[in-house]
Amino acid sequence: MRKLAAGNWKMNGTGASLSEAQALIAAQPSPACEMLLCPPATLVARLADVARGSALMVGGQDCHTNDTGAHTGDISAAMLADAGATSVILGHSERRADHGETDALVHAKALAARKAGLVAIVCIGETLAERDAGTTLDVIAAQMASVPEDSTAAGLVIAYEPVWAIGTGRTPTIDQIAEVHAFLRARLTERIGAAAAGVRLLYGGSVKPSNAGEIFAVPHVDGALVGGASLKAADFGAIVAALSAS
């Protein structure tokens, strides 16, 4: 399986940020892992132009369930593909919190992504209250409802992002990451069968150059979904290098 370093720029970045992507391509011309940046929708086509012919892939941060229609402000998976995206982040905890996205909606979006030929990067993860209550694995198990049962290894990536680790500088212990990722692989196998063995399971939440190496050594961690540290070519490039060496 080819590991994946994915960057989520969230609601950050303007045309000036494309220079960071250019610097990343220059620093990592042929990494041993896949390298993906998901900029805001306004930059997808421009980043795809910058990335053309390089190892850098481009993704979206959300898509609608429909291909076209009267949905002001939304964009479809087909539109992302047309703009040069090859994947799309779905069900990020910020969208679940800001827009009330449910597992059922994320499931429908994952089907729309597949129809457009995009890899669905489905995000799951517990809140701090759920972690403290000892219900993390129950929450993860329930969120598997976001994943279509007939998903393929090539068409699906799952990102485990504990909500309390996002943008906080706090990360779970290595043992906690290992516990969730092993559980995730087992539950995914129950849900989609043998294809689960080839699905990339990413860890996300305060991944930085300084902690990437030890996180990438954890069994069933097949890459990272990186927020803040993906905005700077030097930081994201160092994370790509750590994953390539793992």
Q: Which of 37, 227, 238, 240 binds ligand 13P (CB under 6 A)?
A: 227
Q: Distance from first CA to last CA of the chain, Å, rounded?
A: 13
Q: Which of 226, 233, 238, 240 binds ligand 13P (CB under 6 A)?
A: 226
Instruction: Determine which one of 20, 34, 64, 92 is catalytic.
Output: 92
- Phi-psi group of 69: left, alpha or beta (phi > 0 → left; psi -120 to 50 → alpha; rest → beta): left
Q: Which of 85, 106, 207, 212 binds ligand 13P (CB under 6 A)?
A: 207
Q: How many residues bind ligand 13P (CB under 6 A)?
A: 14
Residue 44 binds to ligand 13P (criterion: CB under 6 A): no
Which residue's CB comes closest to ligand 13P? 227
Q: Where are the beta strands (DSSP E) in 110-217?
A: 119-124, 156-160, 200-204
Residue 62 binds to ligand 13P (criterion: CB under 6 A): no
Task: Round to whole Å and give the CA distance between 68 and 25.
Answer: 33
Write each residue from 159 to 188 as x if it is in contact with ligand 13P (CB under 6 A), else as -, in one continuous string: --x----xx---------------------
Task: Round to whole Å and give the CA distance between 57 and 94.
Answer: 23
Q: Which of 88, 206, 238, 239 binds ligand 13P (CB under 6 A)?
A: 206
Tokens of 143: 């969120």
Task: Round to whole Å and give the CA distance between 104 and 234.
Answer: 38
Q: Is 92 assigned a catalytic role?
A: yes
Beta bridge partners of 5: 35, 224
Task: Round to whole Å and give the CA distance between 219 and 86.
Answer: 26
Instruction: Determine which one of 130, 161, 181, 220 is catalytic.
Output: 161
Q: How far is the CB of 56 from ligand 13P (least distance, A)?
A: 17
Instruction: Decide: residue 223, CB within 10 A, 0-12 exposed, 13-18 middle, 19+ buried.
Output: buried
Q: Which of 83, 201, 225, 243 binds ligand 13P (CB under 6 A)?
A: 225
What residues are labeled active site?
92, 161
Q: Which residues bind ligand 13P (CB under 6 A)?
A: 8, 92, 161, 166-167, 204-207, 225-229
